[in-house]
A and B are shown apart, each in its own frame.
Chain A
Amino acid sequence: MRNPGMSAKPLAFFGERWATFFLLAMLIVFSLVGRNFFAFKNFSNILYFATTYALLAAGETFVIVTGGIDLSVGFVFGFVAVCSSITMRDMFAAGVPDTVCMLVGSIVGLGAGVLPGLINGILVARLRVPPFIATLGMYGVANGMALNLSQGFPVTFLPPRVQEIGNSFIAYLLPGKAFTFFQRPLNLQPSDLRYLLGIVPGTVLVAAVILLISAFLLARTRFGQHTYAIGGSKDAAIRSGINVPSHLLRIYVLSSLFASLAAVLYVFRVGLGNFTTFSSSYELFAIAAVVIGGASLMGGKGTIGGAVIGILILMTLENGLNVMGIPSFYRYIATGLILITAVVIDQFTPERRASSA
């Protein structure tokens, strides 16, 4: 009885943490092979582009842990980006001060983003529509709404301060000369600009805070425990007195809310609102990251930290390929391959109870 457990241990140890090892290995390889990969600016860039995906993946994690799936996140993201930016554009055009525009625009976006989640949740939790179908329906509806509102064009002419705020850093360092928080050093010479180093993009900090809160929510609170319980066995969860429908409803709202947060941050970062194209495949990357991070589509497994590592793998890969001058569409191939590898590894990794037996 002991022996199989012992021999399974190292395999299980590696199988559970392969994503972390893989990320480290990839960082080392790209640092050695790619020129300009190992640079502060580049790592900052990876995080900068990862925020959108990490937030989508965090929301998706909650859903997948309950044993569901949310295919609509990518198009909800586009829908919210369009809602929020249209509000900002129209208010700004009407002469409202830009601070108010941004505030109202963000709130409208987040508010609009709750609706798809509410509908998904009601369909899944109350009307027992399979999550796949309910969110596939929302995938179509949210996409149509976004295209309708934006008329098929990116929404531009937002207040200029939007992009300024979205691209600000927590701190600025001008080596040997100045170090400031939140604002660029005053009296910059044009020649200094090249050396100005931004430390931690603001959007990354915001996303990191949200991710930490959600990790706490999933790992340390009763809400999180119930989420795992429902994913482990819905029957057992019902019998132990958890109000499963209302919990599931909240989970789908949460997923949409994360997509909306990602969208609002995106609007600030890029300075415009765009609908989601079919080939951008946000939901592929979000779901892939969650699964790479160790979640199972059967539910009951998965962590926010795992999902973030999954996203970092995918984004490092894209960035590394870019730096090496390899066309970016290889990342779709790589993502697909890594996703399938992740599931196969998960399939062949001995369960933890085998090693504890």
Chain B
Amino acid sequence: MPENFLTARRGRGGTLWLGRNWAFLFLLLEVAAFALLGSRFLSLENLQNIFVACLPVLLLGMGQTFVIITGGIDLSVGFVMGLGTVICAKFMFLFQAAGLPPSLSIPLAVLICLAVGLVPGFVNGTLVARLKVPPFLATFGMYGIAYGVSELVSGNTPISELPAEAGYIGNEYILYIIPRKLVSLILRPQDVSKLELQNMWTILPTVVVIAFAFVLIFAFVLRRTPFGQHNYAIGGSMDAALRAGINVPRHLTRVYVISSFFASLSGVMYVFRYVTGRADAGSSRMLDAVVAVVIGGASLYGGTGSVKGTIVGALIIATLETGMVNLGVPSHNRYIAIGVILVIAVLIDQFFPELVGRGE
């Protein structure tokens, strides 16, 4: 009898674990499939590329995680990211034209961009929290406004001719190792032969390190601070949160500000990486960000979701993209795959609530 009981429980625990971590297993399966089908998919370079590729989705998804946990949605992130790229690029361009050295023009432009990026979030938050506009409509309005403003700032053409140093940040690595010769931190080794260059290991892309620093900070905020607890509380039941004395309007405003902060941070990363600013830089990423968060186990009704889940979701999408390029499949097929994965994620959530651990 006790034996039976034990096995039964272990069995249920197993499916429970599977249900909670199906996204992670899916990611592993995905990597395994591409490793079998593709060529050199598991190389260090390619794996690092996946992390670089996941950044826009991850950063937009981070802000979206906070918003979705409160039961809201932020549809404006894609175009706020575009706005971020345009503002950042525009100021870099202006400062460069004014004769500022790159060591000054780049950080200044980034700071201005991040500061301006708080504005859409503040407007969204005020509309949602104070004027009780449904999040869907408030952020949909901002979606149009942000796109229009970024076209306005960029004059309808991508902004280029930025300081080349911006590109160094976006495309360089933290660590360079040439086996049995030298280890270089941050600076790309000079005066090396072609052969040595081919054998050089480049480790930790700079943008990934910057982005993950912010992701980890906000993961901590969500998991370990009263702010994070209030976030879950509001998503669980707004009435209960109000009665428990949480200042819900103020909290919601901050949440939308966080979302648009991450969107403009993603814009800055885009400028570093591609050394250009364009209004539609993030337009295709809104869908991806919502998908990443939902695959990661969040419910659009609020109250659930985690940074860990969003990271896995973003990696699933990035692996898909990178893998498709590796296999030579036209990249627009990813939209189909992502749409299908989104619906499957919600169906799993819908039909196996106890599997996903939401039955209680």
Q: Which residue of A lies closest to B331 (CB)?
A: A147
Query: What is the CA–CA distance of A128 and B287 in the complex, to the nearest angstrom?
Result: 20
Does B339 lie within 8 Å of A123, measured CB to CB?
Answer: no
Q: Specify which chain B residues have a CB less than 8 angstroms from the CB of A334 in the assembled complex.
A: 148
B152 located at the interface, meaning its Cβ lies under 8 Å from any Cβ of chain A in the complex: yes
Question: How does the 8 Å CB contact mask read for B145-180 relative to A, with 1 for contact and 0 for none?
Answer: 111110110001000000000000000000000000
Shortest C-beta distance, B207 to chain A (Å), equals 23
Given A129-B343, A279-B279, A337 and B350 touching (CB < 8 A)?
no
Does B152 lie within 8 Å of A329, measured CB to CB?
Answer: yes
Q: Which residue of A lies closest to B285 (CB)?
A: A278
Does B334 lie within 8 Å of A144, measured CB to CB?
Answer: yes
A253 located at the interface, meaning its Cβ lies under 8 Å from any Cβ of chain B in the complex: no
Does B156 lie within 8 Å of A136, measured CB to CB?
Answer: no
A335 located at the interface, meaning its Cβ lies under 8 Å from any Cβ of chain B in the complex: yes
Q: Specify which chain A residues have a CB less than 8 angstroms from the CB of B73 in the assembled complex.
A: 132
Does B144 lie within 8 Å of A284, measured CB to CB?
Answer: yes
Shortest C-beta distance, A228 to chain B (Å), equals 20
Does B343 lie within 8 Å of A329, measured CB to CB?
Answer: no
- From A17-25, A170-178, A339-347, the one touching the partner chain is A339-347
Residues 116-167 of A contacting B (Cβ, < 8 Å): 123, 127-130, 132-134, 136-141, 143-145, 147-148, 151-152
Interface residues on A, range: 35 or more
Q: Which residue of B lies closest to A141 (CB)?
A: B339
Query: What is the CA–CA distance of A191 and B137 in the complex, to the nearest angstrom?
Result: 51
Does A340 lie within 8 Å of B141, measured CB to CB?
Answer: yes
Q: Which residue of B lies closest to A287 (CB)?
A: B140
Does A137 lie within 8 Å of B339, measured CB to CB?
Answer: yes
B242 located at the interface, meaning its Cβ lies under 8 Å from any Cβ of chain A in the complex: no
Does A335 lie within 8 Å of B343, measured CB to CB?
Answer: no
Q: Specify which chain A residues have a CB less than 8 angstroms from the CB of B143 in the assembled complex.
A: 281, 284, 336
Q: Of B131, B144, B291, which is within 8 A of A335 by CB? A: B144
Question: How does the 8 Å CB contact mask read for A206-246 relative to B, with 1 for contact and 0 for none?
Answer: 00000000000000000000000000000000000000000
Residues 303-334 of B contacting A (Cβ, < 8 Å): 330, 332-334
B53 located at the interface, meaning its Cβ lies under 8 Å from any Cβ of chain A in the complex: no
Given A132-B73, A141-B336, A336-B143, A297 and B148 touching (CB < 8 A)?
no
Does B283 lie within 8 Å of A297, measured CB to CB?
Answer: no
Q: Which residue of A lies closest to B73 (CB)?
A: A132
Query: What is the CA–CA distance of A151 and B331 in the complex, to the nearest angstrom?
Result: 11
A94 located at the interface, meaning its Cβ lies under 8 Å from any Cβ of chain B in the complex: no
Query: What is the CA–CA distance of A245 and B333 in the complex, to the nearest angstrom?
Result: 31
Q: Of A137, A336, A343, which is within 8 A of B145 by CB? A: A336
Q: Of A129, A138, A148, A152, which is within 8 A of B350 by CB? A: A129
Q: Specify which chain A residues have a CB less than 8 angstroms from the CB of B141 in the assembled complex.
A: 288, 335-337, 339-340, 343
B142 located at the interface, meaning its Cβ lies under 8 Å from any Cβ of chain A in the complex: yes
Q: Specify which chain B residues have a CB less than 8 angstroms from the CB of A141 in the assembled complex.
A: 335-336, 339-340
Query: What is the CA–CA distance of A334 and B151 in the complex, to the nearest angstrom?
Result: 13
A69 located at the interface, meaning its Cβ lies under 8 Å from any Cβ of chain B in the complex: yes
Query: What is the CA–CA distance of A337 and B127 in the complex, to the nearest angstrom?
Result: 12
Does B133 lie within 8 Å of A332, measured CB to CB?
Answer: no
Q: Specify which chain B residues have a CB less than 8 angstroms from the CB of A291 in the assembled complex.
A: 137
Q: Specify which chain B residues have a CB less than 8 angstroms from the CB of A339 in the assembled complex.
A: 137, 140-141, 144
A39 located at the interface, meaning its Cβ lies under 8 Å from any Cβ of chain B in the complex: no
Question: How does the 8 Å CB contact mask read for B59-103 relative to A, with 1 for contact and 0 for none?
Answer: 000000000000001000010000000000000000000000000
A95 located at the interface, meaning its Cβ lies under 8 Å from any Cβ of chain B in the complex: no
The A/B interface has a contact count, at CB < 8 Å, of 140
Query: What is the CA–CA distance of A144 and B137 in the complex, to the nearest angstrom?
Result: 26
Q: Which residue of B lies closest to A341 (CB)?
A: B141
Does A337 lie within 8 Å of B145, measured CB to CB?
Answer: yes
Does A333 lie within 8 Å of B145, measured CB to CB?
Answer: yes
Query: What is the CA–CA distance of A284 and B332 in the complex, to the nearest angstrom?
Result: 22
Does B133 lie within 8 Å of A344, measured CB to CB?
Answer: yes
A247 located at the interface, meaning its Cβ lies under 8 Å from any Cβ of chain B in the complex: no
Does A327 lie within 8 Å of B152, measured CB to CB?
Answer: yes
Given A297-B134, A347-B133, A329 and B342 touching (CB < 8 A)?
no
Which of B73, B143, B334, B336 has the largest number of chain A CB atoms within 10 A? B336
Does A144 lie within 8 Å of B333, measured CB to CB?
Answer: yes
B9 located at the interface, meaning its Cβ lies under 8 Å from any Cβ of chain A in the complex: no
Shortest C-beta distance, A309 to chain B (Å), equals 18
Q: Of A69, A133, A333, which is within 8 A of B342 by CB? A: A133
Shortest C-beta distance, B318 to chain A (Å), equals 16
Question: How does the 8 Å CB contact mask read for B267-297 relative to A, with 1 for contact and 0 for none?
Answer: 0000000000001100110010011001000
Residues 92-125 of B contacting A (Cβ, < 8 Å): none
A330 located at the interface, meaning its Cβ lies under 8 Å from any Cβ of chain B in the complex: yes
Shortest C-beta distance, B279 to chain A (Å), equals 7
Does A330 lie within 8 Å of B287, measured CB to CB?
Answer: no
A331 located at the interface, meaning its Cβ lies under 8 Å from any Cβ of chain B in the complex: yes
Does B347 lie within 8 Å of A129, measured CB to CB?
Answer: yes
Given A133-B300, A134-B343, A330-B152, A140 and B335 touching (CB < 8 A)?
yes
Query: What is the CA–CA distance of A357 and B346 in the complex, to the nearest angstrom?
Result: 44
Which of A143, A144, A151, A297 has the largest number of chain B CB atoms within 10 A? A144
Q: Specify which chain B residues have a CB less than 8 angstroms from the CB of A335 in the assembled complex.
A: 141, 144
Does A136 lie within 8 Å of B145, measured CB to CB?
Answer: no
Query: What is the CA–CA distance of A317 and B290 in the complex, to the nearest angstrom?
Result: 31
Query: What is the CA–CA distance of A59 and B41 in the complex, to the nearest angstrom?
Result: 45
Q: Specify which chain B residues have a CB less than 8 angstroms from the CB of A288 in the assembled complex.
A: 140-141, 144
Query: What is the CA–CA distance of A137 and B291 in the complex, to the nearest angstrom?
Result: 9
Does B134 lie within 8 Å of A343, measured CB to CB?
Answer: yes
Q: Of B137, B148, B333, which is within 8 A of A340 by CB? A: B137
B132 located at the interface, meaning its Cβ lies under 8 Å from any Cβ of chain A in the complex: yes
Q: Of A123, A333, A343, which is within 8 A of B138 by CB? A: A343
Q: Specify which chain B residues have a CB less than 8 angstroms from the CB of A343 in the assembled complex.
A: 133-134, 137-138, 141
B338 located at the interface, meaning its Cβ lies under 8 Å from any Cβ of chain A in the complex: yes
20 pairs across A/B with beta carbons < 8 Å?
A69-B136, A132-B300, A133-B294, A133-B342, A137-B339, A137-B340, A140-B287, A141-B340, A148-B330, A148-B333, A151-B330, A279-B283, A281-B147, A287-B140, A332-B145, A336-B142, A336-B145, A340-B137, A343-B138, A344-B127
Binding site for A on B (CB under 8 A): 73, 78, 127, 131-134, 136-138, 140-149, 151-152, 156, 279-280, 283-284, 287, 290-291, 294, 300, 330, 332-340, 342-343, 346-347, 350
Closest 7 CB pairs of A and B: A140-B339, A336-B144, A333-B148, A144-B336, A332-B148, A144-B335, A147-B332
Q: Kindly list 8 other residue pairs between chains A and B, CB separation below 8 angstroms, not including A278-B78, A332-B148.
A: A137-B340, A139-B339, A147-B330, A151-B330, A279-B280, A284-B143, A329-B148, A329-B152
